[in-house]
Amino acid sequence: MSATHTPSAKPLQGRTAVVTGAGAGLGRAEALALAALGANVVVNDIGPAADDVAAEVKALATGAVAVTGDVGDWSMGDRLVEAAVESFGSLDIVVNNAGVLRDKMLFNLTESDWDDVLRIHLKGHAAVSRAAAVHWRAASKVSGAPVYGRVINTSSEAFLFGSPGQPNYSAAKAGITALTLATSQGLARYGVRANAICPRARTAMTAEAFGEGATAPGGLDIMAPERVATLVGHLASPAADEINGQVFVVYGDMVALLAPPTVEQKFTAADGTFTAAELDEQLTGYFRGRDPHRTYAAYSVAGLDTTGTQQTR
């Protein structure tokens, strides 16, 4: 690496980040990783754990403020932006991480199971992103130049493959991915970069799914949330200015960049309009002979293992 591209030890010095769901698990690891890179952090969670993590951030010699509340409340987005600007003078980074699980098979899913997950995951991401977008757009118009803005959203492999016991969660994560892409396109002119991560990490929420940790070289659990937080820190940094509108799978010792969806096969009506017989010949014929249980979820992306849990936290 040339000297001109040597990363700074504190690339986020003087920057301010908002991290939702930062009271434990992945959010806590992300807040501490950003603080280690020099950022001030607005720590959000629904309970007193936010204060505990804020204290940990301060111990890293950066500023921190805890804002307790539910990101599913639309006004929380404005509160978090205001806390960043009033406490530290700027808002530069948003890490949308907060989420809940209400795992049910589709036939057991209740209205509240659906609403709770969509409200916290998808509405929560949208509420904070909207408030940040308002702030950044206004700042760009005042300065007459692009601002520094980073949005890192938390999606999941469940949006790609589905998760049979998590139809609500899978749908929310698909929405978050689409929200990320729209954010990246709508805010790029103002200097904002928006990307999504699909993480796997061993936390209190996924302890049962992942089982006991396996220590990797260096003494860090191969599924430690700190491994995911390292990528989040990079995407939040100036070094990631050319990374926008991307989706990454991250866990263990790897980061995988997902390609945009591609067309597998095109079917065309011979005379301009399909008949039922022609659809049967072309579509059904294309799938005939395949295992009916082999669905989209059976395919891997970039050779990644798609078995096991798809939970993000």
**Catalytic residue list:** 156, 169, 173
Check: CB of residue 71 under 8 Å from CB of residue 46. Answer: no
**Cα dist. 24→56, 100, 220 in Å?**
12, 13, 18
DSSP state, 287? H
DSSP state, 232? H
* Nearest alpha carbon to residue 12 among 32, 186, 51: 32
Q: Which residues contact 262 (CB under 8 A, 6 or more apart)?
A: none
Structure-block tokens of residue 291 = 């295992």
Other residues' Cβ atoms within 10 Å of the Cβ of residue 32: 24
Other residues' Cβ atoms within 10 Å of the Cβ of residue 50: 28
Q: Is 89 left (phi over 0), alpha (psi -120 to 50) or beta?
A: left
Structure-block tokens of residue 184 = 């990246």
Give the Cα separation of 130 and 26 in Å (integer): 23
Query: Exposed, middle or buried: residue 162 (CB in 10 Å: 0-12, 13-18, 19+)?
Result: middle
Other residues' Cβ atoms within 10 Å of the Cβ of residue 218: 5
Query: Exposed, middle or buried: residue 302 (CB in 10 Å: 0-12, 13-18, 19+)?
Result: exposed
Question: Is the four-CA dihedral 141, 145, 148, 150 of positive or negative sign?
Answer: positive
Give the Cα separation of 137 and 3 in Å (integer): 34
